[in-house]
Chain A
């Protein structure tokens, strides 16, 4: 084994490691961009990932349907098989209708916020080892996406973009403690900070904290973005599920159930521009 450390192979490994360490440091310092090698591999793999994700979506839908044990659904599946040929003819039409519905939901948000510029994207990979459910989408700098762009669905806020590659981008979710954003109780206008914790992320919830002791936040209230920082104001986040007081009894916090089921997301919209964007830098430990 000691000969190994004098061998050519060891020198090659050492050089590769040093190069990668240098690239890591560079990516860390520059921030917001995928490392060059991840970018190249990510770009090559992106179309395959999209195809794989689509197939996996169909499979999980099918498995879920079977798992439900609903006879009507199973019968429906049998009928669907019989109508397969007809469906083939109608598939283009169905696809168009689906896309139309998808955009219709966002049209409502767009109507309310004419300054928003959207870019639709599809989830292509999920970091399964991240308890905060971060994921990768199939759009990158080629589509005009940038670091800190807001990611939403028709139900509400999802998170923001942390790393941008040519054709892929990584998204951090509102379940993560690395995200910190200003939020408001929609009913009472009480303001606080929204950030995740591991315990709440396990339940799919996030934390609305730093609320003053005199606040009137109640269970069932809607929480929206306050517009401070990188997010546009008034975006729906979730509902207050429970209320507690912090360790030193100085402020109140609430557990918020996001409107978006982050574990089930398949397509999102990225807000690439809005009025007042770039006013403040992002908070959190990033």
Chain B
């Protein structure tokens, strides 16, 4: 795998780099704008998290850290009372996904979905513990059951398109 990573580092195609930057910008802006709200009832996906998971699955460790950190900070700049939670969470999730995909799992869709589900559940449960659990019991449990868990599942499912996009990029890089 280290060999593949070094190939990725050596033969990065500028079109792929630009496409990647564009994907990140579009996803980050879509997450915070009113356009195309893809929420299903109370399930609101954290699309940048799906993106980071899909990206870290095929990227190098360095890229995973950088993009995880940048995406997290961008979300922090608009998220209500997040402090640096998203920056830390996104970066650590990106690193965890990179390590797990290279050491524990095969790089197939099933593994990506399992990892995405674990990571998004951890993310939303942490979000709940840190920011939404200190209200009344009804509101607190209501947030966990009605918002956090459905949103985590939805976020995990959204990793599928990003998995295929980055698998395609990864194959292109290896071919070159």
Residues of chain A touching chain B, judged by Cβ–Cβ distance below 8 Å, are 1, 4, 9, 12-13, 16-17, 20-21, 23-24, 27-28, 34-35, 37-39, 41-42, 45, 48-49, 52-53, 55-57, 59-60, 124-132, 134, 136, 162-163, 165, 168, 170, 172, 177-178, 197-199, 202, 285
Contact = CB atoms under 8 A, between A and B. Distances in A.
Contacts of B112: none
Given A129-B127, A177-B139, A38 B73 contact: yes
Contact of B135 (A20, A41, A177): A177
Contacts of B138: 197-199
Nearest to A57: B34
Most chain A Cβ neighbours within 10 Å, of B77, B87, B103, B136: B77
Given A38-B76, A52-B29, A60-B35, A131 B143 contact: yes
Given A1-B99, A127-B80, 9 more contacts: A13-B65, A20-B84, A24-B88, A49-B32, A125-B32, A128-B31, A128-B37, A136-B32, A170-B80
A129 B44 contact: yes
17 contacts: A27-B83, A35-B84, A53-B34, A56-B35, A57-B34, A124-B78, A127-B79, A127-B80, A128-B31, A128-B39, A129-B79, A163-B81, A168-B78, A177-B136, A178-B135, A198-B139, A198-B146
Contact of B139 (A38, A42, A52, A199): A199
Interface residues of B, number: 46
Contacts of A125: 32-33, 78
A38 B103 CA distance: 33
Nearest to B41: A202
A48 B69 CA distance: 20
A42 B83 contact: no
B10 interface: no
Contact of A130 (B74, B79, B95): B79
A177 B80 CA distance: 13
B147 interface: yes
B39 A24 contact: no
A4 to B, nearest CB: 6
B139 A197 contact: yes
Contacts of B84: 20-21, 23-24, 27, 35, 37-38
B81 A162 contact: yes
Given A23-B84, A38-B76, A4 B135 contact: no
B134 interface: yes
Contacts of A35: 76, 83-84
Interface string B138-173: 110011001100010000000000000000000000
Contact of B151 (A1, A39, A129): A129
A13 B96 CA distance: 11
B42 interface: yes
A20 B143 contact: no
B46 interface: yes
Contacts of B12: none
Contact of B99 (A4, A17, A42, A127): A4
